[in-house]
Amino acid sequence: MAKVTVYSTPTCPYCHMAKAFLKEQKVQFADYDVSEDEGRAREMIEKSGQQGVPVIDIDGEIVVGFDKPRIKELLGIK
C-alpha cells in the first residue's frame, strides 16, 4: 500500500474533497493541518514549493491541489 500524506487546512474545500476521495477508496493517509503545525507547513513547502493546499505526497510523488486523475494514477485506481 502506498504511503500517503495530506497537508491541508480545516477551511480548504479541496482538502475536504481530497480526503473524502481517499477515504472512499479506503486509502490510509496521514493528515497534517498546516495552519496549526508550523513544522509540517515548512515540510510541505520544501516538498512542493507551494504554500497552497492541499499538497498530497504519494510515495514521494507530490500532487498539488485535488488532481483526482493524478491521484488515481499514482494509487493505481481505475
Question: And the C-alpha cell for 21?
Answer: 476521495
- Domains in the chain (CATH in brackets) are 4-75 (3.40.30.10)
pLDDT of 1 over the 90 cut: no
Q: What is the pLDDT of residue 20?
A: 98
pLDDT digits (tens, 9 = 90+) for 11-49: 999 999 999 999 999 999 999 999 999 999 999 999 999
Task: Give the whole-angstrom CA distance, residue 77 versus residue 68.
Answer: 10
